[in-house]
Amino acid sequence: MGMRSVQKTIESRIECSGIGLHTGKEVFLSLNPLPPDSGIWFRRVDLPHKPYIKAAAENVTQTSLCTTLGNNGSGVSTVEHLMSAFAGLGIHNILVEVDAPEIPIFDGSAQHFVELIEKAGLKKQRASTEVFSLDERFSVSQEEKKITYYPNKELIVSFTIDFDHPLLRKQEYTFRFSEDGFVEEISRARTFGFLKDVEAMKKCGYARGGSLENAVVIDEDGVLNPEGLRYPNEFVRHKILDFLGDLYLYGMPVRGHFVVYKSGHTLNNQLIKALKNGKRKKHDSISAIQKPVQDFLSNSPEFKIFSA
């Protein structure tokens, strides 16, 4: 504890649309600035009462193939790439409006979200937030998967993947966090999957919008995408992208060295809950982060667009 970070939002509202990876349907999305101490919120504008969902680990309802946030029956899935962009650019206060149960996939990375945020403009706010860190090592594990935390004043992620495929066997990468480094080293890494799994996933209701335009697809011989890979180790970089997005559901910046072996969304979420509720330090986040975001919207003239 003790470190602090300047809070940021975006300068102005910005909109986009794209296909949902799992639903295969067109999704309209907007990003909207929020005042200091608001936090990150999602809003399902297609549902009655347009419910709000706070971006927080305790609101994670599903972690199979993606991270889903939910509240009182409403939900938004595939939030990890957008959350990673927020983490990478240091966005603390923002409202995401979406008219579908899923965030658009775009090219399968966080690059489009980074460009969208940069186009809207980054805005430093006259407030700071505490940066969370611990002073002792601890681990969480699930079968062979494991995440170990080591105290560090920086955020460092050392990730190892190990799949039964020549291209993905024992791929390792260490990322020392910086905003510029995130944009250059991590944000462009795309999600990936195996061709043999695609039909089974579609039968189960997943990947209906999946294509070579929004994922790296691998068969027995190699990568099917004609353009090839963006990085020689794009697969492990994407896992770091996912990890950073899931970690940002803590609700504030986190510092430490995370050594990660074969983790996915489920274990990532268990890690955050361990940080929040575990036997180490209990920490109360910014008091205003717990207030309904409606409090801010109703009292601020710049949010008249949400009054309907």
Quote the number of domains for the chain. 2
pLDDT tens-digit readout, 122-153: 999 999 999 999 999 999 999 999 999 999 99
Residues 31 and 145 in one domain: no
- Among the candidates 131, 162, 196, a domain finishes at 131
Q: Which of 281, 239, 238, 233 is nearest to 256 (CA)?
A: 281
Report whether pLDDT(8) > 70.
Answer: yes
- Among the candidates 77, 99, 131, a domain finishes at 131
Q: Where do the H-state alpha helices sit in the chain?
A: 80-89, 111-120, 179-181, 195-203, 234-247, 265-277, 293-298
Residues 112 and 203 in one domain: no
Active-site residue, from 81, 257, 265, 283: 265
pLDDT tens-digit readout, 220-257: 889 999 999 999 999 999 999 999 999 999 999 999 99
Residues 188 and 112 in one domain: no
Euclidean distance between CA atoms 285 and 287, whole angstroms? 6
Q: Which of 61, 85, 75, 93 is nearest to 20 (CA)?
A: 75
Residues 80 and 147 in one domain: no
Active-site residue flag, 165: no
237 domain residue, yes or no: yes
Phi-psi domain of 133 (left: phi exceeds 0; alpha: psi -120 through 50; beta: other): beta
**Residue 295: its pLDDT value, please?**
55
Residues 31 and 10 in one domain: yes
Domain span holding position 204: 138-277
Q: What 3 state SS string does 197-246 have?
A: HHHHHHHCCCCCCCCCCCCEEECCCCECCCCCCCCCCHHHHHHHHHHHHH
Confidence of residue 280 (pLDDT cuts 50, 70, 90): very low
Euclidean distance between CA atoms 27 and 138, whole angstroms? 40
pLDDT tens-digit readout, 65-74: 899 999 888 9
Residue 56 belongs to domain with CATH number: 3.30.230.20
Confidence of residue 300 (pLDDT cuts 50, 70, 90): very low
284 domain residue, yes or no: no
